[in-house]
Amino acid sequence: MDSAQHIRLLQLTYAAQLADAATQYGRAGIIDEVTAQRRTQRLATGAAQAAQMGISEPQAAFTSSAALFGCADWTVSQASNGGDGPAAGFVATAGRCLLCGLVKKAGGPSPCRLFCLDPIEGLVRGLAPHAAFDVRETLYDGEQCRVRVATS
């Protein structure tokens, strides 16, 4: 097995473990409580986490997560005034997410906030504390993940 195959196997194993955790939290009726507690922690530690990951720009919170975890295929584009609000900022979209697909197959609740969006929001706000982080759609409930980040 070469390095790329090894990394992909680790990414798949990680996604499967997160999918199992989300499904178990849902069955136990505690996913909302766990999500709220973890969100608070992630917002408090976002700047340190970004530094550990070598992330210095809010956009990289999405693209670095995509590269590292191999789960959602995040892309980032400059925001425009056309329906996404003020132009200062960006829009991140993903059309595929391994974790979301695994959880849906298992019949579990949405893992989006707990394992993807809240950690990314923590990174973004760690770098830009006053940024607005607006989740417009998720793959769990829609056709894509779409997040609007306003930086001013």
Averaged pLDDT for residues 102-127:
97
- Express each pLDDT in 27-41 by its tens digit: 999 999 999 999 999
Which pLDDT belongs to residue 136? 97
Name the average pLDDT for the chain.
93
pTM over 0.75: yes
CA 13, 67, 46, 119 dihedral sign is: negative
> Which CATH number characterizes residue 26's domain?
3.30.1380
Give residue 74's domain range.
Answer: 3-150
How many domains are there within the chain? 1
Residue 123's pLDDT is what? Answer: 98
